[in-house]
């Protein structure tokens, strides 16, 4: 069977399994094993275990569960609540200030947790009921949290950037710092749209809520200041980790391990989480998410091996490379492909499956691999707030069941357009992503 026909059949089988609700890892692994057995016979199964476990045996992957454990320690403690109270104190009186403070809280919490779902859930549980109470439209309340939560996979430290770095053998420290300014840019674009959306909706708060808020802020300034002081040690840990990575003091795995230990220690001492139950929750959540991600990585490696064995990868890469088109037309096609892939697959799966294939094409077209990592990540962010998968949409729906899924979706779509604007800005001004890493770590030798 020719590679094109094999590729179509493999894709259709994968889409069918996902459509009937098969977990991503099992869908990838099942299709891969079936394709290899049909093409090469049962003897191919002897390589399955070696490929499966060998794909996650890299020491670099230790950073993933450690960063997830660090995020779980933050997400399971009252850190999100304290962060939210502190930002509301400073930004709550601005036009649309509560919604804007939610986006700011999502940005900061993303740096603390490195997880989009954790950010969305932690800030959404606090922010959405408060915004509803103050008269904000349901679409704005849901959309700003759903979009703000996506920043968790871009703002460092980011698990998806670690996966990209290992998959493409690029510097994780440089990837982290390349995502910092674009993450801030997206946060500002989200805030700008939030301000516009609030104006179009006819106001930011109900008058009674505004008057009540003023007195409430005056009464709680001292309490909010104490909340900020409780958050500062966690922020200091994140800054120390980033400094260790950028300064070459520690590897990502070492920095992640120290960060996880310090965040758990802070959660215990700052928030008096002495009991076994909250600690059990932290480790349970971290274990669950880590196993899910590592299974997807291992299964995606099997899938990539199957595609390579059937010459599907080589045929696809060769076909794209042979296209005699402008490099920006090529980049547009790649962006469209990543956007569609993000609609159906989680970010980690997309990165493991596509990054090794796309990287040689990107380099041949004279694009920077670190700039491309940011472009890829923003495309995957869009997938988190768009159907049919749209993980953040369903998290918001679970947090606020009284808000219809239609309102959640319609409130989130303008933020997806903000991300498209962000991609366009990065295409015109690539230094948005490259200036900071070039300044701090020197430009890499090509």
- pLDDT value of residue 285: 82
In a domain, 371, yes or no: yes
Quote the DSSP letter at residue 151. Answer: G
- pLDDT value of residue 221: 60
| Look-up of token digits 């990065």 | 426
Q: How far is CA 229 from CA 79, 85, 234, 269, 440, in A?
A: 11, 11, 10, 13, 29
In the chain, the number of structural domains is 1
Low-confidence ranges of the chain (pLDDT < 70): 1, 44, 55, 59-60, 80, 84-96, 202-225, 227, 246-248, 313-314, 316-318, 320-323, 388-389, 442-446
At 111, list the tokens.
């740096």
φ/ψ (deg, to 5) at 413 = -60, -40
CA 364 distance to own-chain centroid: 27
In a domain, 370, yes or no: yes
In a domain, 403, yes or no: yes
Tell me the pTM: 0.78
- Report the alpha-carbon distance of residue 87 to residue 125 in Å, rounded: 15
In a domain, 446, yes or no: no
Nearest CA to 433 among 242, 191, 156, 169? 156
| Cβ atoms of 396 and 403 closer than 8 Å | yes
Q: Give the DSSP letter string of 87-103.
A: HHHHHTTSTTHHHHHHH
Within 10 angstroms of residue 250's Cβ, the number of other Cβ atoms is 18
Q: What is the domain extent for residue 87?
A: 3-441
Q: Quick one: angle between helices 97-113 and 116-133, nearest 10?
A: 160
- Report the alpha-carbon distance of residue 412 to residue 408 in Å, rounded: 6
- pLDDT value of residue 188: 93
Output the CA torsion sign for 385, 356, 176, 189. Answer: negative
Quote the DSSP letter at residue 44. Answer: G
| Look-up of token digits 């098969």 | 22
pLDDT in tens, 308-325: 777 776 676 667 666 677
Instruction: Enumerate helices (H) and strands (E) in the chain, giving the number of each.
Output: 21, 0
- pLDDT value of residue 426: 95
Nearest CA to 161 among 289, 252, 79? 252
Nearest CA to 189 among 154, 139, 148, 136? 148
In a domain, 345, yes or no: yes
């Amino acid at each position: 069977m020719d590679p094109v026909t094999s590729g179509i059949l493999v894709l259709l089988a994968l889409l069918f399994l996902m459509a009937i609700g098969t977990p991503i890892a099992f869908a990838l692994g099942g299709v891969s094993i079936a394709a290899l057995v049909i093409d090469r016979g049962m003897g191919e199964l002897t390589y399955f275990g070696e490929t499966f476990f060998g794909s996650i045996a890299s020491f670099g992957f230790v950073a993933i569960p450690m960063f997830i454990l660090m995020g779980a320690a933050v997400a399971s403690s009252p850190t999100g609540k304290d962060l939210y109270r502190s930002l509301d104190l400073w930004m709550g009186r601005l036009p649309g200030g509560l919604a804007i403070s939610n986006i700011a809280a999502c940005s900061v919490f993303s740096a603390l947790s490195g997880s989009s779902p954790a950010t969305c859930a932690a800030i959404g549980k606090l922010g959405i009921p408060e915004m509803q109470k103050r008269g904000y439209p349901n679409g704005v309340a849901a959309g700003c949290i759903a979009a703000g939560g996506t920043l968790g996979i871009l703002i460092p430290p980011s698990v998806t950037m670690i996966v990209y770095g290992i998959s493409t053998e690029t510097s994780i420290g440089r990837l982290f710092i390349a995502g910092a300014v674009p993450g801030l840019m997206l946060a500002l674009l989200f805030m700008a749209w939030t301000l516009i959306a609030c104006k179009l909706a006819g106001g930011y708060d109900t008058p009674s809520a505004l008057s009540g808020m003023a007195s409430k802020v005056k009464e709680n300034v001292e309490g909010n200041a104490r909340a900020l002081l409780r958050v500062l040690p966690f922020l200091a840990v994140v800054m120390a980790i980033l400094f260790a990575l950028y300064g070459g003091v520690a590897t990502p795995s070492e920095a992640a391990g120290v960060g996880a230990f310090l965040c758990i220690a802070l959660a215990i001492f700052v928030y008096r989480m002495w009991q076994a139950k909250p600690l059990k929750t932290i480790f349970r959540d971290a274990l669950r998410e880590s196993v899910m991600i590592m299974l997807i990585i291992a299964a995606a490696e099997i899938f990539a091996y199957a595609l390579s064995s059937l010459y599907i990868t080589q045929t696809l890469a060769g076909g794209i490379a042979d296209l005699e088109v402008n490099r920006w037309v090529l980049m547009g096609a790649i962006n469209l492909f990543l956007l569609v892939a993000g609609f159906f697959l989680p970010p980690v799966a997309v990165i493991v499956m596509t990054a090794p294939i796309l990287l040689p094409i990107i380099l041949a077209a004279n694009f920077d691999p670190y700039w491309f990592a940011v472009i890829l990540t923003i495309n995957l962010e869009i997938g988190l707030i768009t159907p049919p998968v749209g993980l953040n949409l369903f998290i918001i729906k679970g947090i606020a069941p009284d808000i219809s899924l239609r309102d959640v979706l319609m409130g989130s779509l303008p933020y997806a357009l903000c991300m498209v604007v962000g991609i366009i800005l990065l295409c015109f001004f690539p230094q948005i992503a490259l200036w900071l890493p070039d300044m701090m770590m020197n430009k890499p030798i090509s």
